[in-house]
A and B are shown apart, each in its own frame.
Chain A
Amino acid sequence: MNQFALAFTPEKLQEAWHVFLTEFPMGLWETVYVTVLATFFAIVLGLPLGILLVTGDEKGIRPLPKPLMKVINVIINFLRSVPFLILIVMVIPLTRAIIGTSIGSVASIVPLVVAAFPFVARLVESSLRELDPNIIEMAQSMGSSTMQIIFRVMLPESVPSLVTNFTLAITTILGYTAMSGAMGGGGLGKIAINYGYSRYKYAVLYLAVIVLVILVQVFQSIGTRLAARLDKRIKK
């Protein structure tokens, strides 16, 4: 405890402030772009997969062979149940193949995407399942093709729910970037670990945490507001 108290002496705080001014801007930028890019690619992969989970279902608009759906579900569940730290190590060969290295913030995007896209697929699945099946039936009764139902009915009608769920995805991925920072990635996570864990500079660690919390709040409130604004069911 003594050591802990010593971490917040005026000199230490001043040192932390110095780190804050010199290293945090870059760290924050890395965290933000890694989070945004990882979320983007997770959606690029997760959205079609989520659509497939709904439309390919036994009761979906375009049922796929049951064994195929089973395999897809098993893979998703598998990826979702591997702890993220282990996943980072597991995908190192893939990361090297794509980025050329497994170190650095750009490289950390790969394990983040691998971890997040099955999660996003499940979120998309739940958003699309919220949709009133009568609406789908209406579209079918008007002669919609499968693609028309997906792109003209299912997705547009689910926009508010999708935005809400993508917000959940981006804040979750933000948390994961801090973890990947500890495993060779960059950003605020790396700064927090470098100073806080390796050198017992808790003041820096706490500052990093505060910035991360603020970042989550920012993403969350933007997402919540956007979802509300986009939802035409809400009377204004």
Chain B
Amino acid sequence: MIELRNLSKSFVTADGPVEALRHVNLTVNDGDIYGIIGMSGAGKSTLVRCINMLERPTEGSVLLDGQDLGALSKKEMQQVRRKVTMIFQSFNLLMQRTCLQNVLFPLKLAHAPKAQAEARAKELLATVGLPDKANVYPAQLSGGQQQRVAIARALATEPQVLLCDEATSALDPKTTQSILELIRQINRDTGITVIVITHQMSVVQEICNRVAILEHGTVVEEGDVSQVFSRPKAAATRALVFPEMSGGEGQLSSGYGQLVRLVFEGSITTNKPLIASMAMECGIAANILGASTRTVGKREYGYMLLEIPGGPDELARALKYISTVPNVVAQVEAEYSGKEAAK
């Protein structure tokens, strides 16, 4: 189990201090595939580098199975890094070494017996689907193949945690799929805990069971992927889940009324009558500002952004009506109506 307690990290730069992380609290359970998602510059890489102490936190602590990593000596930390390994966006293979030598690299660092190490390295190359590339140099491989070698290398020391920093961001969608599938398979087979850093929602949807949304160095939302995605609370989450439904609302909205976001479990089209029946039964003619669907895990979710004309009374009636419809959750866009009112 990995626990981040009140973790903060600031950098001293020429233009003053940069607070990359602010009081982050997270718990990653054994066997989780934990997604950490955020826009570029949100602090994701800094966060993941704090987990293996490539960056020293300015404040707070990182606990691995209860052990405070910040309190370890340099030697002890080198040991821990064999148990918490990492793959990267740019693969970072040793370009002057063969694939086999690359996979052997961490084993040699750990002074593993040669014959045993080679057997394990070959086995790992087979696991990642490249049994015939042992004596090939990385320059001869595609990006996806290079990342597979990097995964084999990261697994060599039988780690309990695999950190992936934008591991698929340099790959095309099809290759991304296959790499994610490999990570999921390894997680299933070995029970390894995986922390996936990404700026792509699709990656989290594909393999993660839990997710934290990072914005400006702060965790704005955290929980089960299906929970967080079906009922995104934070604006940053909504922006990630529905980039097309964020920002454009101002132009569409008449400015008289409240914005309400509906989340449907199941397809949005099956719920069409909701708007019509709300108009007939409550006399509220909601204005549809946007609609979209997303598949999270195995479930499909529909989202709809409504504008309820009128004042608080109409809003209350609309919400009451919506609450009677099964599988639909409504959220009032409080901050949005505030913005509108200010105009």
A-to-B contact residues, CB < 8 Å: 132, 134-135, 137-138, 140-145, 148, 152-153, 156-157, 159-160, 230-235
Contacts and interface: CB of A to CB of B under 8 A. Distances in A.
B108 A152 contact: yes
Interface string B101-127: 000011011100000000000000000
A142 B140 contact: no
B88 A153 contact: no
Interface string B92-107: 1011110000000110
Question: Considering residues B54, B95, B137, B139, which has the most beta carbons from chain A within 10 angstroms of its beta carbon?
Answer: B95
Contacts of A141: 52, 54, 81, 85-86, 163
Nearest to B108: A152
Question: Chain A interface mostly helix, strand, loop or mixed?
Answer: helix
Given A143-B110, A148-B109, A156-B97, A138 B78 contact: no
A159 B96 contact: yes
A77 B140 CA distance: 41
B331 interface: no
B109 A142 contact: yes
Given A132-B92, A232-B137, 19 more contacts: A135-B94, A138-B88, A141-B163, A142-B81, A142-B105, A142-B106, A142-B157, A143-B78, A143-B79, A143-B82, A143-B106, A144-B109, A145-B78, A152-B108, A156-B96, A157-B96, A232-B96, A232-B139, A233-B95
Contact of A157 (B54, B95, B157): B95
Question: Considering residues A134, A140, A141, A148, which has the most beta carbons from chain B within 10 angstroms of its beta carbon?
Answer: A141
Q: Which 6 A-B pairs have the closest CB atoms?
A: A143-B81, A143-B78, A138-B92, A232-B137, A141-B86, A142-B106
A86 to B, nearest CB: 40
Contact of A233 (B96, B110, B163): B96
Question: Considering residues B82, B106, B110, B157, which has the most beta carbons from chain A within 10 angstroms of its beta carbon?
Answer: B106
6 contacts: A137-B88, A141-B81, A143-B77, A232-B95, A232-B97, A235-B140
